[in-house]
Each structure stands twice: as C-alpha cells, then as structure tokens.
Amino acid sequence: MLDIKFLRSNPEAVKENIRKKFQEQKLPLVDEVIALDKEFRNAKLEGDRLRAERKAKSKLIGGLMAKGNKEEAEKTKAEVTALNEALVALETKETEVQQKIREIMLIIPNMIDESVPIGKDDSENVELERFGEPFVPDFEVPYHVDIMEKLKGIDLDAARKTSGNGFYYLCGDIARLHSSILSYARDFMINRGFTYYIPPFMIRSEVVTGVMSFDEMSDMMYKIEGEDLYLIGTSEHSMIGRFIDTILPEEELPYTLTSYSPCFRKEVGAHGIEERGVYRIHQFEKQEMIVVCKPEESMQWFETLWKNSVDFFRSLDIPVRTLECCSGDLADLKVKSLDVEAWSPRQKKYFEVGSCSNLGDAQARRLGIRVKRKEDGTKYLAHTLNNTVVAPPRMLIAFLENNLNADGSVRIPVALRPYMGGMEVIPVK
C-alpha cells in the first residue's frame, strides 16, 4: 500500500506506474482517492474548528452561571449540544471517508523498482543467468509420477478417493526423500545465519489482507467457515504477520528467519489442478526465508536471498536459472521479483521452483510494522522480503529427473546422504 502523502504529491508518477503494470482500469482510482483525501482533510479541519468552538463555549457556561445569567447559560448549553451533534455526524463522515480511502489504496499497486523490465505478462520475463550445465541423458526420462510409481513412492488413486484431485500419498523412499530435502533445507538456512521457525498454519483476515493483494487472496486462500481464520498458502504469511502492530528496535535489524510449514492453495485460475502429477496441487510443504530490514538494505538482501536458493539447488546437482519478473507479472505489493527455475531433462526446459520478492514497505504499512531509530527515537516503516528455499513435492520433479539412472533408480547427492541414512541410491523396487 502506498503512502497517501506520496500519492497526493505524485499522482502522475502513480498513474505511470499503473500503466507499466498494464492495469489501466485502475487509473481513475488515483483521482478518486485524491478527491476523497481532500474531503477527509476538509472534514478534519472543520472538526478541529468545531471542537475549539465547543471548548470555548463550554468554558463560558460556568462563568455565566456564576454571574446568575441562567438564560444565557442555557442558550450556550444548547449551542454546545448542537456542536456535539454536528461533531458526531462529522466524525462518522471522517471514518467512512477514511475507510473508502483505505479500500482504494489497497487496490492501487505498489511502485515498482526502476530496474524492473516492462512487460505485459510472464511470457515477457527476462532470463538473467544460468547456473550449472543443463543435461539430457541418452535414455528417455519418464514423467515424474511414473518415476515415483516405479520406486513405489506415490499413490494418487487412493488420494483421489479420500480427498479428490490435487492431493497425493507419498510413501517409502520417496516420502523419506521428501522429508530429507526439507530437513536439509532447514539446516542449510540455519548454517547461513537464519533463525528457524515453525509458525501457526492459520491466520486472521487482518493478517491476510496485510500480506497479500485481494486478487491473490481470492485465488489462493482457504477460509475456515464460521471463524476469522484462513489456512496459510505459505509460511511468509504467518512470519510477516508475527510483527503486526510492532515497533522494532533499529539495532535488532535485520531479522533473518527461515520457516517450515504445510501450504494450502485453491489454485484457482488458468493453470488449474493437475489430474496426474504433483506440480500444481492443493497441499504441499515448504521451507521459506523471510527478512525484515532497513529500507536502505532491502535490495542487498534481495540479492542474498535468491543466491541462497541457487546455492541450495546446485548443492543437489540441479541446474537452475534466474528469471527477472516483468512489470505485468508482479503482484501488486511487490517492488521487484525474481524466479528461480530448475532444469527439466524430460521437458528440455526450465520450470519455476521458487520466487524471491522485495515488497518494500507495502506489507509494513498495511500491518503497522515500524522501526524505532536508535539515534533520535523517530519511527519509520520496515522493508520486508521473502524467498522460497525449497517446496517439495514440486522440487522432487527436478530432483528425480536430474538424478535419474537408466535403470530407473535415483542417485542421492552427497549433501543429502546423511538425511537418507547414508543411502547413495534409491533402488527400483
């Protein structure tokens, strides 16, 4: 959410930013919120004038009564009563207008960084760099579910009976591999100085609207009927939400956190749910990294976060590339975003396995996350960032394809072997 003062002073810059995001339908909102802001400030000025007048008249009443001028005192009391009624009506109007302003400000997109490439959708994202050599073996790489089934590691049919499409049972060595990757990711981030968390898996609506846009919310979140609770789509929601209405000592920044959680998503939209596969599903697990920092440090942390993901995947012998998200592919709260994509030997192309985002002060403004400056005690909004460490079972697709042997068995990279009980290969059953 933008600062109303910034929008008031820079309406054309805000409109140009909306055009860069190809959301022309939102252009009238800028003028609408400026008009409402003027109405709110005028009402506030009038309220201040009425309160001052009420105070002055209230003081007169005692003096008039003391002088025995009861008639004049009663007349002044009536005037004070009228002022009170006018103030109640004015304060109600102030509240209503302020609420309208907030509702519109939540829809107007955040200002993107000047380095973001301009493009309409994800087809115009820009490749930045490749890490590791993409490799295609001299044997056919089966579909990931076929690989898992040959290893007796997945049961989609039973999951359809219990839960429907978009769910799965993992079992045996594949289930162990899934848990091992998460455990390795946890320790990988702890060794890089991040504090490990397991957060709540449900959050209240005020946190949901603080961490994401309305479009994302309706397409992603599951609502708990009869309660003000939502199932999280990523642990970022809980982890940023834990700072709601908090004043952070500047000397404690940055907060570098890594969190595990299950994630629940509707997956509403063009992609939908896979009938047979684990790439796009309703339920998965994830290791996330979150940073809360000073504004001047957020771009430096952005670079650090995505490099952590690249290093993690390379430690498991998986080639990856980084992709800069263009303006039209950025969610409304994001200042800058970069996807990490893993190589698929079967498809002979890269696919997304993680996303690194700098949200500037947007989440902090919505949630009231402020920092108290050490020198003079003044306060400013923090910057927040998040990035995926790993999200199996999607990551399992890349892992299995890149470590598959010709006989259908799967190599275990050295870094992961301690988590697999020393196992070097997952054999075909």
Q: Please write the tens of the pLDDT for every residue from 345-398.
A: 999 999 999 999 999 999 999 999 999 999 999 999 999 999 999 998 889 999
Beta bridge partners of 260: 287
393 cis-preceded (ω within 30 degrees of 0): yes
Residue 308's Cβ-count burial label (10 Å; 0-12, 13-18, 19+) is buried
pLDDT at residue 271 in the model: 55
Tokens of 39: 């109405």
Please list the active-site residues.
Answer: 265, 280, 352, 355, 394
Split at pLDDT 50, 70, 90, the class of 275 is low
Mean pLDDT of 331-337: 95
What does pTM read for this prediction? 0.89
Tens of pLDDT, residue by residue over 140-178, are 999 999 999 999 999 999 999 999 988 999 999 999 999
DSSP sequence for 343-383: EETTTTEEEEEEEEEE-TTHHHHHHTEEEE-TTT--EEE-E
pLDDT at residue 269 in the model: 55
Tens of pLDDT, residue by residue over 16-67, are 999 999 999 999 999 999 999 999 999 999 999 998 888 888 888 878 887 8
First vs last C-alpha separation in the chain: 54
> Percentage of the chain with pLDDT > 70?
98
Residue 99 has pLDDT above 60, yes or no: yes
Tens of pLDDT, residue by residue over 285-301, are 999 999 999 999 999 99
Average pLDDT over all residues of the chain: 93
Structural domains of the chain in order of their starting residue, each with its CATH number: 4-105 (1.10.287.40), 122-426 (3.30.930.10)
Distances (CA, A) of 16 to 25, 225, 348: 13, 40, 38
pLDDT at residue 216 in the model: 74
Mean pLDDT of 106-119: 96
- C-alpha–C-alpha distance, residues 309 and 356, integer Å: 9
Mean pLDDT of 308-317: 96
- Which helix (DSSP H) or strand (DSSP E) does residue 257 occupy? strand 255-264
Among 78, 46, 38, 44, smallest CA distance to 61 is for: 78
